[in-house]
Chain A
Amino acid sequence: MVGYWQLLPEGLVLTGALIALFGEFMPGGDRGAVRIGAALAFSAALIIALDGSSGTLFGGMLTFDGPARFIRAGVAGLTGVWLLWLSGRDIAPDEPRRRDAAALALLSAIGGMVLAASTDLITMYMALELSTMPAYVLVGYRRRDVAGLEGALKYFLLSLLTSLIMLYGLSFLYGSTGATLFADISLSGTGALGLIAALLTIVGLLAKLSAAPFHFWAPDAYAGAPASAVAFVSTVPKIAGAAAMVRLMHVMLPDEPQLQWILLLAAVVSMVLGNLSALPQSDIRRLMAYSGVAHTGYLLLALSSGTQYGYGAVLYYAVAYAVPSLAIMLVVAEEGPALADMAQLAARRPAVAWSVVVWLMSLIGIPPLAGFFGKLYLFRAPLEAASTPWPVAAVVVAVLVSVVSAGYYFRVIRQMFLADEPDSPCVVPNSVASNIAVGIAVVATIAMGIGIAPLLELVGL
């Protein structure tokens, strides 16, 4: 497609959001509106996946290339999965209202899709905000739940802080280079100001990606939120954030090689802190929050290599991490947030339990699942680019802590298969739509691993 037709997928998603807002007037009420939203999101993903064209819009403010195509399809597809699941379930046990959640998720998805394509400071910032603003509301979706509101407030305040820091950095970037288009920004010769501007800018994205030490909001926000909201909030905006990070690094890293060390530092701290903090958690939402911190660490590790290879690995793994992570949280939303709630899942719902096993295996990095290849590329990128021993040391740390991470993932598996049956196991009603959603996630996790070749081409690996 050419010209403004390239924005057709975003238009479809926007239509879905508008329809969802008026869900009570739709046939089938909220449920019907969510189904329409899911269908539109899937069709958007399909259009992006099938349309091989590339181009720019608005004088280069948006660039539709391979990486943008991959990420946009991923964002739209995952949003579709989430909405499909939602059409069969409530967002929280005592919260029957779905239409607002669907609209918010679709709006956030538009932000993420535009973010993946934006090659301009202004569009990047706007898209970033659009992708995270709905997330605050989703976290505090249960209006009478104090814990959720507290989490939402914390998320909002910390996000606001880092957004302002980022905006501050953007103003310096514009001030010192006189350009907002990525193509025109050159930091060479701007001295310390350019470096500080770059650093301030990155901080905003690091916080959205919940990289240490800007991750503190994540565990608190997720632990208060409905697990279904966490499923969306912790994954979809993150994919787009990773894509934006890659684009920014394309611009900044060549001129400011010091950033490489900053990224490496953040990577190591995130991996170690995330994995160690995840170990003692009893709430799966918290556990997955810390696991997300750790996975962001892996992404930053590859990002710090500053090579095309590393960037491709980041893009691929961002999606390869998001699919199982989202799916696990959906199951948690069905069963209950505590680790103990998963006890004997294998006996009650064997198919779901085995699906969880597949996703966890992918997160740990067992071949031939998506996570294995992702980690492989992520860890190889810094090794190939390394000119000093430090990146190599960081990769060694990464491998060690991912062994540690197996510890807490296996605890989930042990609960599902070996723990004693709880006294009063919750009975989850069957739902075709959500089962399909879970099925899609399993297929995607396996397919992304086995059919990796065309995807790698897309992200430029």
Chain B
Amino acid sequence: MTWDIVIGIETHVQLTTKTKIFSGASTEFGLPANENACLVSLAYPGTLPVLNKEAVMKAIKFGLAVDAQIAEYSVFARKNYFYPDLPKGYQISQFELPVVNHGYLEINNEGVNKKIRILRAHLEEDAGKSVHGIMDNKTGIDLNRAGTPLLEIVTEPDMSSAKEAIAYAKKLHNLVQWIGICDGNMQEGSFRCDVNVSVKPSGSDKLGTRREIKNLNSFRYMEQAINYEVNWQIEQIEDGHDIIQSTVLFNPDSGETKAMRSKEEANDYRYFPDPDLLPLKISQRDIDLIRSSLGELPEECFKKLTVDYKLNEADASIIVSDKKTYKFYQSLVASGLDAKITANWIVGNLFAKLNDHELSIDDCPIAQEQFILLIKRIMDQTISNNAGKKIFDLLWEDPNQNVDTLIDTLGLKQVSDLSAILPMIDEIIQNNPEMVEQFKSGKDKAFNALVGQVMKISKGKANPGQVSELLKEKLTKS
């Protein structure tokens, strides 16, 4: 029997605001415990929540970026549950009337495009943190994170494999950073996914019972967790067991998912509108204002790169993987550089180096003007691509150097002068009769070896493209 996999994802995106969603306490990460606690997050009687405008604006921005409807009227609700890191005894969230409804994100999985519908996105507050093991039989409570604004983004069950789920999560991760509503830091918990998984017999209209994998904060774990969960569910059903709707946790050490104890999930949240918060009204003026500040989205930039600049999809997706890289690339091309050569240099050389040193594009030691000059010298054939790499390495070591000076002092200027190259080619043909014979009997390797020899006696200065052309001409003529 074959099975269909059905996946929906809920993502908690931490919004980048300076203050908490319902109070003026700072959201700065990494401070000692409880320095960002405040009367509102401690739930002192008499305090009242006051909604942060920036959190609302960022939620609207997201809605517009996924082509969703922005609710003119939305409502905050109390989600009631008891846990010590939630002193109020309820989380303020949105239930019936969320701020964002019905958008979509288009993903590309192994060359196939697919629309993933976004059912809703709602604003809510994060809880505090429970810290175990600081004292015997005790738990410590840190309320720094309590009240941090979250946007919970909920999809329809539109994904049908772990790969599609990852493609969606990555796309969303890219988008929320691109539009500047989230720092995307998964280790710090700024972007966490809950994945709902179920299986059903292939082609069946009836959805199977789902289990929800909680709190995945790495794409690798997400893929492992989904694959494990799918196999587990299929095995259970094939062995004649029913799937019981439940919440599961993924254990990265064992690679397994495991249901939380039923006590922990016996939740009955008793949602009701929060009487402390009046309904939220969003004006068309605010929506228009945010729309005009949205700028180009990654999707459009990707199209520009693949259609207008004719880059391959792999390079284009690396360049749009982050807004800074895209802007850097655009400014290079705007300065007159060839789009493809520049893309090759950014993806192939610059990124390799940055990754080796675990740096981001902001930390690149090489000045942009020197990087531009380097690519210009390759474009105008002053130096070969290989010589360019040599100079790139030297610039990385000592960013104060100048490309043109390095070309001169290292003697890397390419020889494109026929009268200099032709005698070298003749010499190599004369000295390597065996290789010439091999080439003539159809061995391409021999040809490359001959080009190599010419490059060697030119001390790397000959233009390899030109050498190759001239050599081929000579050999096929004679």
Whether A associates with B in a native complex is no
A residues near B (Cβ < 8 Å) are none
